[in-house]
Amino acid sequence: MIDKINALRAEIAAINTATAEQAEALRIKYLSKKGAVNALMADFRNVPAEQKREIGQAINDLKNFATEHINQLRECSQQSVREFAHIDLTRTPAPVRLGTRHPLSLVREQIIDIFRRLGFNIAEGPEIEDDWHVFSSLNFADDHPARDMQDTFFIQRNPDVLLRTHTSSVQTRAMEHTQPPIRIICPGRVYRNEAISARAHCFFHQVEALYVDTDVTFADLRQTLLYFAREMFGPETKIRLRPSYFPFTEPSAEMDISCNICGGKGCGFCKHTGWVEILGCGMVDPNVLDACGIDSKKYTGFALGMGVERITNLKYRVNDLRMFSENDIRFLKEFTSAR
């Protein structure tokens, strides 16, 4: 008999939600004259006299518990009807305003994605740097005029603490800690002490790539550049390499692509030459490899560096550099559908 009572109690306790109608049905099922609790009374008659007290008490407890539990279920259901009655579940929800990705982030991701497919991994370095990583290790002699090519911000009048002027510093950091093969891509922000105008800013973004291994040649560099240019600007894109000078590469070159606006015919954008410059590159100077602890007799490498703003300008025709950092929402919205 006790088992029966406990089973019934467990059954009622397990019910934890009910509408008002369901609560009424439960009351009838368990507590009415013909309900389950009353049915126990019929058995009660057959309980031996010495157990009557204990079992009678248990049936009473069960009855109280069931009454209270079912009342509670009814109350909850009424409360929730009251609480949520004013909510119109059929109403169309307000549209969610989605933000857009910043054009520089979009283009940076596109560049990284292309190099990732060639097996390059991302490497990062600090924006506050020292002279060694930004200049000396990269073959800038102390009195070399090339240091003036990049107007450096120094911190606290200390010539050894500065904001990096290019992401080539990440090359040094990678080579200092790793032996070849090294195949890295280094995206990041760089700083130069320039007056802010449509064409120059005191900070901008670069992506650097470095590949060092045995037998890396200029042909590898050229092919990598061609692949990059065609992935970025379309399969018809042509490239052209012009000799140039950077302290950390020998030989050095600048790469132009066929103007993606006029297709190479000549227009205002490419100053009627049919070509636009997009990046600097070259074979890593053996002095740089040696300075970073890599045997320049055994290994060779190529490096390249490009400005993300420049590539974005070519892809999306953003001609004024200042727009990238003004956070004008109308400008950012232009890129809603860009990928």
* Residue 59 contacts ligand DAH per CB under 6 A: no
Contact (Cβ atoms closer than 8 angstroms) between residue 249 and residue 289: no
Q: How far is the CB of 223 from ligand DAH (least distance, A)?
A: 16
Hey, what amino acid is at 319?
N
What is the chain's length? 339
Q: How many chain residues are in contact with ligand DAH, going by CB under 6 A? A: 11
Hey, what amino acid is at 130?
D
Q: Binders of ligand DAH among 241-260, rule CB under 6 A? A: 246, 249
* Residue 208 contacts ligand DAH per CB under 6 A: yes
Q: How far is the CB of 324 from ligand DAH (least distance, A)?
A: 17
Nearer to ligand DAH, 180 or 282 (CB): 282
> Residue 282 and residue 294: Cα distance in Å, rounded?
17
Q: Which long-range contacts (CB under 8 A, 24 or more apart) does 254-263 make?
A: 254/279, 254/280, 254/281, 255/225, 255/229, 255/279, 255/280, 255/281, 255/304, 257/229, 257/233, 257/314, 260/233, 260/234, 260/314, 260/315, 261/317, 263/236
Q: Binders of ligand DAH among 148-167, rule CB under 6 A? A: 166
Nearer to ligand DAH, 27 or 222 (CB): 222
Nearer to ligand DAH, 303 or 321 (CB): 303
Q: How far is the CB of 250 from ligand DAH (least distance, A)?
A: 10
Q: How far is the CB of 209 from ligand DAH (least distance, A)?
A: 7
Nearer to ligand DAH, 4 or 189 (CB): 189
Q: Binders of ligand DAH among 263-292, rule CB under 6 A? A: 280-282
* 285: DSSP letter: P
Q: How far is the CB of 97 from ligand DAH (least distance, A)?
A: 38
How far from each other are the two terminal CA atoms of the chain, in whole angstroms? Answer: 72
Q: How far is the CB of 303 from ligand DAH (least distance, A)?
A: 3
C-alpha distance from residue 286 to each of 5, 135, 210, 247, 253 (Å): 91, 15, 14, 11, 16
Helix ranges, the chain (H): 2-13, 20-31, 36-44, 52-84, 103-117, 131-134, 168-177, 218-233, 286-291, 308-316, 329-333
* Residue 303 contacts ligand DAH per CB under 6 A: yes
The dihedral of CA 67, 72, 75, 77: what is its sign? negative
Nearer to ligand DAH, 70 or 279 (CB): 279
Nearer to ligand DAH, 59 or 284 (CB): 284
Return the residue of 139, 152, 168, 312 that touches ligand DAH, per CB under 6 A: 168
Q: How far is the CB of 105 from ligand DAH (least distance, A)?
A: 20
What are phi and psi for residue 280, nearest 5 degrees? -110, 150
Q: How far is the CB of 169 from ligand DAH (least distance, A)?
A: 9
Nearer to ligand DAH, 66 or 170 (CB): 170
* Residue 300 contacts ligand DAH per CB under 6 A: no
> Residue 163 and residue 193: Cα distance in Å, rounded?
10
Interacting residues toward ligand DAH by CB under 6 A: 166, 168, 208, 246, 249, 280-282, 303-305
